[in-house]
Amino acid sequence: PFETIDLNAPGGIRDYCERYQSIYSNIFPQMQRRVDWAGPVLEQIEGERRRKLPGDKLRDRQIWRDRRLMALAAHKRKSAKDIGE
């Protein structure tokens, strides 16, 4: 899930967390052990993502992902046409 967030959020994981932390906190206020998405947790997640995918390679990965999604959509359209749907 963190790769998806990293690739989809305009400012990466930090941007996503800043925008959605309050929403998740409001949805799950009854949880006894809530995770604060700031500070050490966010630093750890960002660090692990940058180790797996350096920031200078992020755009290349987004382009790769977009091309794969377009190829999948084309395959689905062709398959549906081939079986007459």
- State the number of CA atoms in the 13 A half-sphere of 56 facing the CB: 0
Average of per-residue pLDDT across 67-81: 95
User: Looking at the structure, do residues 25 and 61 belong to the same domain, yes or no?
Assistant: no
Average of per-residue pLDDT across 46-54: 94
Predicted confidence at residue 46, as pLDDT, reads: 93
- Pick the most confident of 3-12, 64-73, 74-83: 64-73
User: Looking at the structure, do residues 44 and 79 belong to the same domain, yes or no?
Assistant: no
Question: How do residues 30-41 score in pLDDT, each as one tens digit?
Answer: 666 666 777 888
User: Looking at the structure, do residues 68 and 30 belong to the same domain, yes or no?
Assistant: no
Q: Is the pLDDT of residue 60 over 90?
A: yes
Q: Which residues fall within 8 angstroms of residue 52, CB to CB, at 6 or more apart?
A: 3
- Output the average pLDDT for the chain: 88
User: Looking at the structure, do residues 8 and 39 belong to the same domain, yes or no?
Assistant: yes
User: Looking at the structure, do residues 11 and 38 belong to the same domain, yes or no?
Assistant: yes
